[in-house]
Amino acid sequence: MSRIGKHPVKLPAGVTATITDNEIVVKGKLGELKTHIPAGVSVKEENGEIVVRPLSDSKEHRMMWGTVRANVNNLVTGVSDGFKKKLELIGVGYKAQAQGQNLKLSLGYSHDIDYKLPQGIQCATPQPTVIELSSADKQLLGQVAAEIRSYRSPEPYKGKGVKYDNETILRKVGKKK
């Protein structure tokens, strides 16, 4: 049985949830997010909390129980507090510059990379080697951070590349004489 699914999701002040047959829409101070509710899981609002339950004891319904609860919790957290990711650029001449909804990256290639940020993502570059991304949508934020990191993944010998701030790079020993 799901241990995550058993816990209800508390709705903070200023956050409202609208539940239809196969969709839940959560509104808060940072915007509005919605997600699909798969068949086999019931979602109800009771006493200012969102309760997720499986419709039967089948394996498929129990698998989706905790997943739906985690997705609903991410929606509620996103519209009330938001999510942040921080990327660091390590390497000589590597730098980033935020220009509205564009991010200009210099990553050692012969050309600069102009990355168009999707709607709902805010970007800031407090230093030329630090990128701070924030959004209410956790899935979209993670996807954008992974795409930016994929332009120059950290390499194991010198550690050069784009890495998450909490990521540790396993270093390898270079050639020996």
Position 161 scores a pLDDT of: 95
Position 175 scores a pLDDT of: 87
Domain with CATH 3.90.930.12 in the chain: 9-80, 83-164
Measured between alpha carbons, how far is 79 from 58 in angstroms, rounded to an integer? 32
**Length reported for the chain:** 177
pLDDT confidence band for 3 (50 / 70 / 90): confident
Instruction: Check if CATH label 3.90.930.12 holds for domain 83-164.
Output: yes
Close Cβ partners of 54 (under 8 Å, ≥ 6 residues apart): 2, 5, 40, 41, 42, 61, 62, 64, 65
pLDDT digits (tens, 9 = 90+) for 65-102: 999 999 999 999 999 999 999 999 999 999 999 998 99
Q: Is 82 helix (H, G, I), strand (E, B) or coil?
A: coil
Position 2 scores a pLDDT of: 62
Mean residue pLDDT across the chain: 93
Position 149 scores a pLDDT of: 96
Measured between alpha carbons, how far is 92 from 98 in angstroms, rounded to an integer? 19
Residue 164 has pLDDT above 70, yes or no: yes
Residue 21 has pLDDT above 90, yes or no: no
Q: Report how far apart the first and last C-alpha atoms of the chain are (Å, whole number).
A: 57
Instruction: Check if CATH label 1.10.10.10 holds for domain 9-80.
Output: no
pLDDT digits (tens, 9 = 90+) for 101-159: 999 999 999 999 999 999 999 999 999 999 999 999 999 999 999 999 999 999 999 99
Query: What is the percent of the chain with per-residue pLDDT over 90, rounded to a whole number?
Result: 85
pLDDT confidence band for 52 (50 / 70 / 90): very high
Close Cβ partners of 1 (under 8 Å, ≥ 6 residues apart): 62
Measured between alpha carbons, how far is 114 from 148 in angstroms, rounded to an integer? 10
Angle in degrees, CA 87, 30, 164, rounded to 5: 10
